[in-house]
A = this chain, B = another copy of it.
């Protein structure tokens, strides 16, 4: 039994329409009436029924966010960035985890669309064209964060992964490293490809041979990093002089796994091996040693996405497609060290 426009109208002996218009400061209503309506609404504790409003206006004042896993700090910081902009404009957010599963991603999207969200933020779990056709057909604005699907004409906000890879290579090179183990996520993920390209581009600028980089792939998880590193170490002829002096990790998660593997073989970081991560998780300055890494600034990505979303919502021409790129930031810590030319 919440208060409705009708209640206010009856209280004041005016029509429902008058109340509705008064509350929205629309013309054709006298100043006195407007004031009276607003006072009465406040007194009775009126709250607009947004669902009913949506039925007429098709504006739900809700936006949906789909992420692989909100427990991953990268995604929770993106969420906060988005929220920061959205609450200012009194939009409310629906959140859903896809758990990296295309079916769940689709299901969550469908749910949100059924609820009439005015827009969707999607951090795709993987190559999932299903959700893209969904989004296209839904006819709501959407922004894709973090991952990029080259063929797609959509709005993207992502970290400049090429630059991130470049920065990492530059950092390691300037410390004297000339042989690298590059642990990547599967290359069909665009960010994996871009980081790798950036990494190699810098080395090429320094006239380093491609053979100086050993590439391995694994899932972006601790176990993934652990296993791949363990296997690599097992194949070394001389453990204390491994065939690479520095390890690039696709994510801090991977780096944690790398740490475990390295410590299992009684090697030290950075004395025996330098390690650089990617993402700058909140805890990467609590590890031992603290982890040098590349920060993708997820909060900033979230904010930028939300800004684009409101551009889309407020403009009628949805034909224009925006691509925003955020420069990552190198975070220097203790897992990388200068090495001499003879090492």
Contacts and interface: CB of A to CB of B under 8 A. Distances in A.
A115 B70 contact: no
A50 interface: yes
A110 B48 CA distance: 11
A97 B92 CA distance: 11
B111 A92 contact: yes
Interface in A110-166: 110-116, 139
A69 B79 CA distance: 11
A286 B290 CA distance: 10
A93 interface: yes
Q: How many copies does the complex hold?
A: 2
Interface stretch (A54-62, A194-202, A226-234, A317-325): A54-62
25 contacts: A1-B139, A47-B110, A49-B55, A49-B114, A49-B116, A50-B115, A51-B55, A51-B60, A51-B115, A55-B55, A69-B80, A70-B70, A70-B80, A71-B73, A76-B76, A79-B95, A87-B108, A92-B111, A92-B112, A93-B95, A94-B94, A256-B286, A281-B283, A282-B283, A288-B288
Ranked 4 nearest A-B pairs via Cβ: A288-B288, A283-B283, A51-B51, A95-B95
Given A47-B110, A93-B94, A288-B289, 15 more contacts: A48-B114, A50-B114, A51-B52, A55-B55, A70-B76, A71-B73, A71-B76, A80-B97, A83-B96, A87-B108, A93-B95, A93-B96, A286-B286, A287-B288, A288-B288
